[in-house]
């Protein structure tokens, strides 16, 4: 009897989850992203963390081409695809129009505005539009799903591609071994805009990502979250290893997860006690593992990782001291928004 009841409960739970997935999931199943692609969990975690109606804009890229193949759509929420460089400009325009309609009493409900762009559409071609939209102070959240290359067009390098990685435009040969330049640090650049909230996140720590979205939305004005997104096809790992790759990126400190409030207060969310060497992360990716034959390149990558990590820790320490000087409760600044709700 007990067994039968348990099976029924599990069946009900599965049914409920299924219904929730189909009725509330902002990005429905049936899109055409590659098996194991890191984009769908990121988009779903971000949008499921938002309790209000949402309008989404996306730049051209894998997310867009796989979710809006005419006459189908995977979007269960109002969605605008715009040209490659304009996701931030367009969501800013939509938010401005909404403000006018709200002022005229033509819209009553509160709506959130979210833009998604790949690293090509965010670090490179959409950067000017993004920087301008946040400078204008529009109230929106921009999420970069960062797969470190232009994947939709077959993997060309972007300014997020790491040193030594193979791409179609940074081949590996006797003259040059993959990409020569280090990754652009867009999260730092966005923090330098002094906007209310900036963060880095990883899809394998989905609770952290959810919390960051909720935290971001407690601020009015522009917010930016940069999420590392392992790309099965171009990084060339097995589809079941997506979250393992994301985890390794954090464990090696290649992708620190942290948040910045008003460009002033910094908090590193995860500090691996025994950080893994960068070789482990590199070795897991056929797009990159050729560099293991070149100790000087590995050393350069490890140095980049260590320098950035130490810089982040220094910023964290400095902001703690600053908060103290200003009489601000540093821990309260980064408190979980759900905790605040409970204590109200």
Residue 142 lies near ligand TPP (rule: CB under 6 A) = no
68 contacts which partner out of ligand TPP, ligand SF4, none, CB within 5 to 8 A by kind? none
The smaller minimum CB distance to ligand TPP, of residues 147 and 187, is found at: 147
- Of the candidates 182, 281, 286, which has an alpha carbon nearest to the alpha carbon of residue 233? 286
Angle formed at CA 9 by CA 8 and CA 14, multiple of 5 degrees: 95
Contact 144, 122 (CB under 8 A): yes
Site string for ligand TPP, 102-121 (x = CB under 6 A): ---------------xxxxx
143 contacts which partner out of ligand TPP, ligand SF4, none, CB within 5 to 8 A by kind? none
* Site residues (CB under 6 A) for ligand TPP, limited to 280-339: none
242 contacts which partner out of ligand TPP, ligand SF4, none, CB within 5 to 8 A by kind? none
Residue 184 Cβ vs ligand SF4, minimum distance, rounded to whole Å: 19
H helix or E strand, kind and range, residue 201: strand 197-201
The smaller minimum CB distance to ligand TPP, of residues 92 and 149, is found at: 149
Q: What is the DSSP string of 122-150?
A: IIITTHHHHHHHHHHT---EEEEEE-SSB
37 contacts which partner out of ligand SF4, ligand TPP, none, CB within 5 to 8 A by kind? ligand SF4
Site string for ligand TPP, 62-101 (x = CB under 6 A): xx--------------------x-----------------
Phi, psi of 57 (to 5 degrees): -120, 145
How many alpha carbons lie under 13 Å from residue 195 in its C-beta half-sphere? 31
200 contacts which partner out of ligand TPP, ligand SF4, none, CB within 5 to 8 A by kind? none
Q: Which residues bind ligand SF4 (CB under 6 A)?
A: 33-34, 37, 39, 62, 66, 147, 151, 231-234
Contact 224, 198 (CB under 8 A): yes
Q: Which stretch binds ligand TPP (CB under 6 A): 86-94, 97-105, 148-156, 323-331?
A: 148-156
Residue 229 Cβ vs ligand TPP, minimum distance, rounded to whole Å: 8
Residue 121 Cβ vs ligand SF4, minimum distance, rounded to whole Å: 12
58 DSSP assignment: E
Contacts of 77-85 with CB under 8 Å at 24 or more apart are: 77/26, 77/47, 77/53, 78/53, 78/54, 79/55, 80/55, 80/56, 81/57, 82/57, 82/58, 83/59, 84/59, 84/60, 84/120, 84/121, 84/125, 84/126, 85/59, 85/121, 85/125, 85/126, 85/128, 85/129
Residue 49 Cβ vs ligand SF4, minimum distance, rounded to whole Å: 21
232 contacts which partner out of ligand SF4, ligand TPP, none, CB within 5 to 8 A by kind? ligand SF4
Q: Under 8 Å CB-to-CB from 55, ≥6 apart: which residues?
A: 77, 78, 79, 80, 91, 94, 98, 111, 112, 113, 114
Site string for ligand TPP, 157-176 (x = CB under 6 A): -x------------------
- Give the residues lining the site for ligand TPP (CB under 6 A): 59-63, 84, 117-121, 147, 150-153, 158
């Amino acid at each position: 009897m007990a067994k039968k009841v348990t099976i029924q409960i599990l069946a009900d739970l599965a049914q409920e989850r299924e219904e929730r997935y189909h009725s509330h999931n902002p990005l429905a199943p049936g899109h055409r992203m590659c098996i194991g692609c890191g984009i769908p969990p990121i988009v779903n975690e971000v949008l499921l963390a938002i309790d209000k109606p949402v309008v989404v804009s996306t730049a051209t890229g894998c997310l867009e081409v796989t979710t809006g193949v005419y006459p189908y759509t995977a979007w269960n929420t109002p969605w605008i695809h715009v040209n490659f460089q304009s996701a931030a400009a367009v969501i800013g325009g939509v938010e401005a129009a909404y403000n006018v309609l709200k002022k005229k009493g033509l819209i009553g409900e509160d709506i959130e505005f979210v833009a998604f762009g790949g690293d090509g559409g965010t670090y490179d071609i959409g950067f000017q539009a993004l920087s301008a939209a946040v400078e204008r102070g529009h109230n929106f959240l921009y999420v970069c799903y960062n797969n470190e290359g232009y994947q939709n067009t077959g993997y060309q390098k972007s300014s997020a591609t790491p040193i030594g990685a193979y791409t179609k435009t940074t081949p590996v040969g006797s003259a040059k071994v993959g990409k020569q330049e280090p990754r652009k640090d867009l999260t730092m650049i966005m923090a330098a805009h002094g906007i209310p909230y900036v963060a880095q996140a990883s899809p394998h720590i989905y609770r952290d990502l959810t919390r960051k979205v909720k935290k971001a939305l407690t601020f009015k004005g522009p917010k930016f979250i940069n999420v590392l997104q392992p790309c099965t096809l171009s990084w060339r790992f097995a589809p079941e290893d997506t979250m393992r790759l994301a985890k390794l990126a954090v464990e090696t400190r290649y992708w620190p997860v942290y948040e910045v409030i008003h460009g002033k207060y910094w908090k590193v969310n995860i500090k691996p006690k025994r950080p893994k060497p960068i070789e482990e992360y590199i070795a897991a990716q056929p797009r990159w593992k050729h560099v293991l034959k070149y100790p000087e390149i590995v050393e350069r990558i490890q140095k980049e990782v260590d320098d950035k990590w130490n810089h982040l820790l220094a910023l964290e320490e400095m902001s703690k001291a600053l908060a103290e000087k200003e009489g601000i409760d540093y821990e309260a600044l980064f408190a979980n928004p759900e905790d605040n709700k409970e204590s109200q």
